[in-house]
Structure 1
Amino acid sequence: MSATNIPQAPVTGLSAAQVAERVSAGRTNEYRERTSRSVSQILRANVFTVFNAILGAALAVILVLGRWGDGLFGVVLLLNTATGTVAEIRAKRALDRLAVLETPRAVVLRDGVEREVAVGDVVLDDIVRLSAGQQVPADGEVITSDGLEIDESILTGESRPVRPERGARVMSGTTVTAGTGLFRASAVGGDAYAHRLAREARRYSLVVSELQAGTNRVLHWISWVIIPVAVVLVWSQLRLSGSIGQAWSTGEWRQAVVVGIAGVVSMVPQGLVLLTSVNFATASLALARRNVLVQELPAVEVLARVDTLCLDKTGTITTGRIRLGEIQGPDGGQALPEVLAALAVLTGTGESNATADAIVEGLKEPDRLGEQGLRGALGSVGECGSGRVESIPFSSRRKWSAIRDEACGITWVLGAPEIVLAAHGAPVLERARRIAAQGVRVVALARSCSPWTQASEGDEPRLPGDLEAAGIVVLTEEIRPDAAETLAYFRQQGVDAKVISGDSPETVTAVARQAGVTAADGGELVALDARTLPAGAGSGKETEEDLNRLADAVEGASVLGRVTPEQKRALVRALKSRGHVVAMTGDGVNDALALKDADLGIAMGNGAPATKAVARLVLLKGEFSALPGVVAQGRRVMANTERIASLFLAKTIYASLIAVVVAVTAITYPFLPRQFTVVSSLTIGIPAFVLALAPSSQRYREGFLRRVLSLCVPAGIMAGTVTLATYLWLTLTHAPRAQVTTATTLVLITCGLWLLTLTARPLTSWRLGLVVLMGSIAVLGVVSPPVRAFFELAWPSPGVWWVIALMAGLAIGGIELVHIVRRRIVRNRG
């Protein structure tokens, strides 16, 4: 909270009274950060659906009538809702367990005494002490800095630590990597920058699932016809009782209503909705075993559709750590052993920071000093033996550190090339600049026989005047070992990768090349400085024209540097406006807004809680290589759901056609409920369950609903027409009622099984076996007297068998013709 009418604290910190005043005013650092979706959001997403509305209304009528046995379809409703809800709540709990605040305590200066308090107890204007390894608990201004270095990549995306001096601003959520300092808290709690970003990212939104959107669209269409069909169907069944009044007086209206609801429920592809949820849940469990947490079940589908992958550099492609690269001598050759030893002493005996730690770790490698050589070097420099060693720690103001071994009279200096080599190292300085232009970090090592000078105690030391270049040290960012292979996989899948960072375009390009990122057209990487993007990008209020200009600017770029959090969000929106399906990876609070707006947000397990809360997928161990597994699961879900959708929606078509014809003509419904159950189970329910969980690597193609409808609509009409024709033919020829229903059931089963062969193609041995098994069970139902009696079927007469054979043949020929024509149309379009 900003300071308003509150006096600034003295350097001794706040008094107890001032702290109490701020606590009573609510100006504390207490902030409840959301770590995942709330239970109410999960329930709302899984309960309030079109599917649940239709079946829920039908179930309510059945229960009011007291026909509990006819409400079995309510089990599907409950299972579908429970499947999604339970899986997503499990993901929520897992994510909540991960959300542990990195630094639960802070050291504050109050009444001139340092005290340790909970982070939430820091108040406005508190003087807070920072030290290496701590997380900055609030926004504020630096009062003192002693070699203070802060990693701000979680907010800005820039991988290089900043070295704030007195008066510089620090932000909550960043991490101290070296040094110590004091800062005054000027914004606490919800007013801190990191929390403002998290609050903006909290707005609830659901992942866009093509499977669910297509199914919901069909349900929406069905909902328009269900009520009139139900009314007419009930009316027609009431007429069969003689009159509506007679049906009411005898109570037969109840049976008519039940028949009407049965017709309505048969029109709803309830099994499709349930199996889609089961498919998603199965994929979610499989991914959990690979340490991928799915927060919304449909997210497993989306990565299979992604065509643009936006990658945050720091923490996604890189580990966030620095590693020692090449060490060159002044002539560009290999550095001498004494240079390596000097580096070891300079970085291994002073105060720890990211650069020093990287150099020390790199020197441990066998082809450099090795572990034993490093230990020996820390006691001496060169071959002079041990002696009194003086040192000057690194300062961001000086941009250099130094050490002097009095035994051999040599001063070694390590620092920025433009400072250390300014006087006598022009050729080496030029080479250092060329190397730095490639996007890596460069520091220079120089030596002198003279000591540094200092006018008086407390003054800044000055470099010796006779410094000679001794070497160039190249530092690079550590690339995740799995990054190159994973990016190559996405490139093979036709996914365009874009690396986005707050670092300079040169640095980002260098990292992208190391990781194997290539341009979409296979040419040179195109890098873009986000500071040159069109005005308005990142304002949060971009117009359609702004997004068009932004999309024009970034579509051809593979690398974007100096990108702000707001620009990341605008980039995602611009790419989506061009029809791209965009996935965004990230780990910092600065990525949260972009992750929320992407079609699929992917967070690293070690990322900020706010970022993991808005992501659809969380890579628990931060393993980039887990993403191809997500694609594989998404493809399995997409391909198998498309197969079973054709079965269920074809049933919706022929059930609707039969219901409408029965309602209009006022004939008796052709099937008993148990007979229709047999048809559904053998041609849809059992095979659909097997097909839904089968492995599949079929590549995703856009147009799921169009392809499904192009098959199921004509096939469903064909099946419904042939079934009704069979029923009317045998009814008009006065065949026994039991034989009529038997023939009608067998013809419809034949239609369903042939449609199953189409959706199961290519017919591998197990798929063909599945079709044969379902057909065998149908034959058994007619051959076996006990089964035949239970389902009220009859052994057909020879004449009825001829009708069955003729109508089944017509159905098979018609459905196969539909498939051939459809396949040719698809081939001509593609």
Structure 2
Amino acid sequence: MSTTQPASRNRSDNSPDLEREELDVVFQQLQTSPQGLTSTEAASRLAQYGRNELEDHQLSDLQKFLRYFWGPIPWMIEAAALLSALIGHWPDFGIIMGLLIYNAGSGFWQERKASNALAALKAGMAPRARVLRNGQFASIDAAEVVPGDIIRIKLGEVLAADVRFIAGDYISIDQAALTGESLPVSKKVGDSGYSGSIARKGEMTAVVIGTGNKTFFGRTASLVAAAGTEASHSQKAVGQIGDFLIFLSMSLAFVLMGVEFYRQVVLRDDWHLEELVNILRMVLVLLIASIPVAMPTVITVTNALGALALSRKKAIVSRLEAIEELAGVDILCSDKTGTLTKNQLSLGEPILFATTDPQEVIRGGALASKRDDDDPIDLAVIAGLQQPDILDQYQLQKFVPFDPVSKRTEATLTDSQGTSWKFTKGAPQVIIELCHLDPDTQHRGEQSVLDLASRGMRALGVAQSSDDGKSWTFLGILSLLDPPRDDSQETIRRAQEHGLGVKMITGDDVAIGSEICRQLGMGTHLQPASDLFTKEMDMSHLPESITACVERADGFGRVFPEHKYGIVKALQDRGHVVAMTGDGVNDAPALKQADCGVAVSGATDAARAAADLILTEPGLSTIVDAIDEARKIFERIINYVLFRVTMTLDIMFVVVLSTIIFGFSPLTPVMIVFLALLDDVPIMTIAYDNTLLPPKPVRWNMRRLLLISSFMGLLSIVQTFGLLLIGEEWITNPDWMARISLNHDQLQTIIFLQLVAGGHLLLFVMRSRGAFFMPPWPALPLFSAIVGTQILAVLMCGFGWFVTPIHWKLIGLVWLYMLAWMVLLDLVKQVIYRKISNHENGRPPWYKRFLHSRSAGRK
């Protein structure tokens, strides 16, 4: 049992501690009474203390919107816009700023929609409280409870605030989610109770002493929420890509400026300021061409649409970057109860002793239960009766509930003949000792309990007495099991096929967990968590022997909340990307530490605040579905990044090489702007694209990504520059090709068409790991957007809209040239992937873990 105690309430030295002071002092300090508050007083206190909910320190809408204008890539766009303004090219300035604002607006809108989905979920989970207002109890939104309110708590209800109990006979509350105590705690008048605890038995009235962030619940959650977190892997990766492209573009810009300054100024005696302005314009063209304008927006939109898709699968993403983390998860640490199992105890076949009728044992256990109680054990026993109405033949005289000391319940009843009976059920060893069995029968009973435990079943002893408890008859042993969910075995199998290791986490004994694992087809090597982790151990610096044991184990039994953090940290130290499920306040550190924390259905607000993924339905299948969906989303992002880096390299080098070698820019500023529009705006539909489900976890591997995109970029440069060389030769010898004349302005249009059309053909190549014509084929939104873009580009070039017109035959020849290169690029791409795959598969596991830990980092 955990000995965790609540932190001291925030107060000045002279103010009383409302958790420990006499009730009279509490009433005086809160200026209230057992008669409660009036509506007017409550409204005044609500304005003073605020709503009874955790403060969510989110950025304002304006701050969220302005974030899209901050960072390496937005800075480059803003610099290009500023340069346009300085040299007086206001149309370019307007279009560039329009693109920047469009990107920010699109990303902000999609992120806002995902945030609204989460807000709607929280609103649907709002609890209620019964409060004494104006002399009458009424049910109100728990967020409107204020200090000084008198509330009534009964069986099954959640405490809406920190309280002191002031009236009532008895209440037993489960506060394991807050303090780690494994058993419900009995409370009496004068005792305190914490927000988020659940009433398991009894009913009492209490005065509210703390609400919102001033509760023990709220203070714990605030500490976790305030903990600093590093940038996500996705943010780091995008930053690295941006840094790479910025460094490259700036280097090429300096080369270009140096060459042109030498040509236009140093070698000429009659240079004018106009030459310097033209150099700045050329640099502007290069900067605009080299900036992946839509990259942040495409990633945000793809993640946001993915988050909405996950919400339809009953998984709410609390932060968009969590999708990337989820895609890389290779180990899932899952709760047993309610996630792998139904959280519904069912009755097995009774073991008979002093009777030959199994129903007699069940009847004895049912009579020792309370029918109007919500206790899961009592409900399971009563549900096992073939004739439940047999209980109506008995009149209850007295009922003694279960408590941790006696470890049994006892009921005194009178049957229809007026005979008095006592029935008891509880821990088998207690019932056996109560019945004073002979050695052989006692040995058989103890062995039966051990056999049930080895099969993962709980045992309850049942006895009856007809002489007011002077002697007891041992009727038998009831077996109870929380059976696996109907979909758990199939879900585990599917998870394993997808390269996901599932480790069971349970507070039950190892034997019970092992039996459930066996039934689900999981490994049965479970470790008692208390044997691995000691109180003196520093969870942040675990010895290698412990981390190795954690990695080898198939699961963990006798787990307390504080052990979960150690399990996560140990697995991360071994190079794994870990998802951890949890539902309580004490689970929050583990959820925060995990690469992807998952708050299961029914989790506390504190757990949901610390988690990256919030489930609205029980079961493991929801998590596995979410991981599958996240992998598809991640693949779409990788496909876009590969395409964008490749295209950026192509545009940058072609512009610089053409300017240096031939003395003219292959693209005008207007063409650059339309290239950005025609390339980037339709490409946002990649968020809807079809993709294969990766069979294994996927993670950012910058070395691999830059290697592939650089190699494909080199070939794309050869493709575009080759067309440029053909055009130059055509201009020099106009009669050698179909007697169609060509000038430099028309050559610029040809290069523009090649970059627009060839870029999207390159996307068809890069979005697939196999041949581009094999499934999965492009989704209709992506395909339609690209076809529409190509039609517009062809019409622009044929009719001369914003560009110099070229002959329709030239347009056809350019398309034939690009289609031939598309086939060549696809073949080269397949060879690259095959070589990389063979190289990585030949490495030992420890080296792969080393690479993963370096490329992924830790949260």
Q: 2:479 aligns with which of 474, 477, 481?
A: 474
Contact preservation (8 Å) 1:330, 1:428: no
Structure 1 residue 713 displacement after superposition:
1.2
Contact preservation (8 Å) 2:55, 2:213: no
Contact preservation (8 Å) 1:565, 1:593: no
Partner of 1:70: 92
Secondary structure of the equivalent of 2:172?
Answer: strand
Q: 1:56 aligns with which of 71, 78, 86?
A: 78
Partner of 2:345: 323
Secondary structure of the equivalent of 1:763?
Answer: coil
2:824, 2:92 → 1: CA distance? 36
Partner of 1:592: 588
Counting only pairs closer than 5 Å after superposition, residues 364-383 of structure 1 correspond to structure 2 as 368-369=385-386, 373-374=387-388, 376-380=389-393
Partner of 2:297: 274
Q: Where does the alignment leave 5 or more consecutive residues of structure 2 unmatched?
A: 1-7, 34-43, 734-742, 842-859
Q: Deviations over 1:745-775 (max 9, x none)?
A: 5665786466445324341385699999979
Secondary structure of the equivalent of 2:467?
Answer: coil
More divergent stretch after superposition (438-447 vs 302-311)? 438-447
Q: Does 1:432 align with 2:442?
A: no
Secondary structure of the equivalent of 2:348?
Answer: strand
Counting only pairs closer than 5 Å after superposition, residues 638-649 of structure 1 correspond to structure 2 as 638-649=634-645
Contact preservation (8 Å) 1:310, 1:583: yes
Contact preservation (8 Å) 2:165, 2:188: yes
Partner of 1:568: 564
Q: Deviations over 1:20-48 (max 9, x none)?
A: 49999xx9998651458554785586554
Structure 1 residue 421 displacement after superposition:
2.0
Amino acid at match of 1:708: L
Q: 1:33 aligns with which of 44, 54, 63?
A: 54
1:121, 1:295 → 2: CA distance? 28
Counting only pairs closer than 5 Å after superposition, residues 331-730 of structure 1 correspond to structure 2 as 331=353, 335-349=357-371, 353-360=375-382, 362-363=383-384, 368-369=385-386, 373-374=387-388, 376-380=389-393, 389-396=396-403, 397-398=405-406, 399-405=408-414, 407=417, 408-422=419-433, 423-425=435-437, 426=442, 427-436=444-453, 438-451=455-468, 464-477=469-482, 479-514=484-519, 516=520, 518-519=522-523, 524-533=524-533, 536-537=536-537, 539=538, 542-543=540-541, 546=542, 548-661=544-657, 667-675=663-671, 686=682, 689=685, 693-700=689-696, 701-702=698-699, 704-724=701-721, 726-727=723-724, 730=727
Amino acid at match of 1:596: K
Q: Where does the alignment leave 5 or more consecutive residues of structure 1 unmatched?
A: 382-387, 452-463
Contact preservation (8 Å) 1:782, 1:794: no
Structure 1 residue 609 displacement after superposition:
1.2
Tell me: CA distance 1:526–1:339, structure 2 relative to 1, closer, same or farther (3 Å): closer
2:254, 2:664 → 1: CA distance? 16
Contact preservation (8 Å) 1:37, 1:613: no
More divergent stretch after superposition (593-602 vs 265-274)? 265-274
Contact preservation (8 Å) 2:316, 2:613: yes
Q: Deviations over 1:236-285 (max 9, x none)?
A: 667777689988755x7555434322211211222343333222222222
Structure 1 residue 611 displacement after superposition:
1.5
Tell me: CA distance 1:256–1:705, structure 2 relative to 1, closer, same or farther (3 Å): same
Amino acid at match of 1:715: M
Partner of 1:102: 127
Structure 1 residue 308 displacement after superposition:
0.6
Q: Does 1:178 align with 2:201?
A: yes
Tell me: CA distance 1:728–1:197, structure 2 relative to 1, closer, same or farther (3 Å): same
Q: CA RMSD in A?
A: 4.8
Q: Deviations over 1:658-689 (max 9, x none)?
A: 34435655821112345556767778865774
1:203, 1:585 → 2: CA distance? 20
1:686, 1:212 → 2: CA distance? 23
More divergent stretch after superposition (777-786 vs 421-430)? 777-786
Contact preservation (8 Å) 2:690, 2:779: no
Structure 1 residue 533 displacement after superposition:
1.9
Tell me: CA distance 1:621–1:664, structure 2 relative to 1, closer, same or farther (3 Å): same
Q: 2:748 aligns with which of 741, 760, 764?
A: 741
Secondary structure of the equivalent of 1:317?
Answer: coil
Contact preservation (8 Å) 2:173, 2:198: yes
1:683, 1:84 → 2: CA distance? 17
Q: Does 1:286 align with 2:339?
A: no
Structure 1 residue 634 displacement after superposition:
1.9
Counting only pairs closer than 5 Å after superposition, residues 83-98 of structure 1 correspond to structure 2 as 83-97=106-120, 98=122
Amino acid at match of 2:414: D
1:221, 1:65 → 2: CA distance? 28
1:129, 1:784 → 2: CA distance? 74
Tell me: CA distance 1:666–1:156, structure 2 relative to 1, closer, same or farther (3 Å): farther
Amino acid at match of 1:356: D
Contact preservation (8 Å) 1:233, 1:659: no
Q: Deviations over 1:288-326 (max 9, x none)?
A: 22332222223233323210101133443345x442322
1:692, 1:350 → 2: CA distance? 52
Aligned length: 785
Tell me: CA distance 1:29–1:774, structure 2 relative to 1, closer, same or farther (3 Å): closer
Amino acid at match of 1:174: S
Tell me: CA distance 1:630–1:349, structure 2 relative to 1, closer, same or farther (3 Å): closer
1:133, 1:822 → 2: CA distance? 57
1:785, 1:532 → 2: CA distance? 71
Contact preservation (8 Å) 1:345, 1:377: no
TM-score w.r.t. the length of structure 1 is: 0.79
Partner of 1:458: none
2:569, 2:69 → 1: CA distance? 29
1:350, 1:692 → 2: CA distance? 52
2:68, 2:492 → 1: CA distance? 34
Q: 1:824 aligns with which of 814, 818, 835?
A: 835
2:272, 2:840 → 1: CA distance? 56
Partner of 1:455: none
Structure 1 residue 582 displacement after superposition:
0.9
1:768, 1:135 → 2: CA distance? 47
- Percent identity between matched residues is 21
Tell me: CA distance 1:548–1:51, structure 2 relative to 1, closer, same or farther (3 Å): farther
TM-score w.r.t. the length of structure 2 is: 0.77
Structure 1 residue 192 displacement after superposition:
5.1
2:179, 2:454 → 1: CA distance? 21
Tell me: CA distance 1:161–1:632, structure 2 relative to 1, closer, same or farther (3 Å): same
Contact preservation (8 Å) 1:675, 1:791: yes
Q: Deviations over 1:148-177 (max 9, x none)?
A: 432234236777645568999864422111
Tell me: CA distance 1:755–1:312, structure 2 relative to 1, closer, same or farther (3 Å): same
Tell me: CA distance 1:377–1:79, structure 2 relative to 1, closer, same or farther (3 Å): farther
Tell me: CA distance 1:615–1:444, structure 2 relative to 1, closer, same or farther (3 Å): same
Q: Deviations over 1:342-394 (max 9, x none)?
A: 4444324575534323333x23xxxx42xxx31x213215xxxxxx6533322
Q: Deviations over 1:400-439 (max 9, x none)?
A: 3123325245432223322222133423344235424655
Structure 1 residue 130 displacement after superposition:
5.3
1:282, 1:351 → 2: CA distance? 45
1:206, 1:47 → 2: CA distance? 22
Secondary structure of the equivalent of 2:562?
Answer: helix
Amino acid at match of 1:648: R
